[in-house]
Homo-oligomer: A and B are copies of this chain.
Amino acid sequence: METIKPQKSLVDQTYEILLNAICTGEFAPGTRLNQDELAARLNVSRQPVNSAISILRTNRLVVDTGRRGVVVAEPDISLFQSIYEFRSVIEPLAVQLACTRLPADAAPEAEEILIRGERAVATRDTKALLEADIDFHQMLYRWSGNPVIDTSMQLNWHHIRRSMVEVLKTPLAAVSSWAEHRNIARAVLSGDTTAATEAMRHHINHANEKITATLADRRDPK
């Protein structure tokens, strides 16, 4: 049976809207978040806006200016590096655990995402490809059965999405290696822990190198 879902509070809705605006780059880094303005724009009072901003602050997506209010945090490249150091051990752990805890309908779920990604590559749809990428990895976190991996990576993906705004302005082929996902999925689904962790390790290092190069090039183009 289903459970009744109480509709989301204005705080949560406000948080999600602001989070999305920050991650898509709609609110550029350094932008000040004016509570009155946001409240008016979202048709709510300042109270939910204020609470949502508190949460954004604890998640480091905005930073205190000390004086008045908060500004959107700068997505610095060193944070991005740190996230990839982090992923380089967490993602292999996720697939390792996933190998031993596969759900029943794992295969079709993976296939749907893989096909979606392949179609995105074919149509040069960068936005859809990023979405498929996120979905693929989050699927593995779920399969791992480890909620700590899931929640910690959740936060990191927000930061990754932010950095990707820059990256995805360059030609798609330069940063995508979607084919690697299929290798990972095959290894996990067949329960081959060693192959799966190795494929994932390779994938993360590969992605990191490509994206870091792109970001560095954007910052300091030759």
Contacts and interface: CB of A to CB of B under 8 A. Distances in A.
Given A6-B66, A11-B54, A54-B51, A147 B89 contact: no
A151 interface: yes
A189 interface: no
B147 A82 contact: yes
Contacts of A151: 60, 155
Nearest to A156: B148
Contact of A51 (B50, B93, B147, B149): B50
Interface size bracket, A side: 20 to 34
A4 B58 CA distance: 21
In this complex, the member of A50, A54, A147, A151 whose beta carbon has the largest number of chain B beta carbons within 10 angstroms is A54
Nearest to A9: B54
A55 interface: yes
A205 B86 CA distance: 20
A21 interface: no
A145 B90 CA distance: 17
A217 interface: no
Contacts of A149: 82, 85-86
A60 B148 CA distance: 11
A86 to B, nearest CB: 4
A54 B47 CA distance: 12
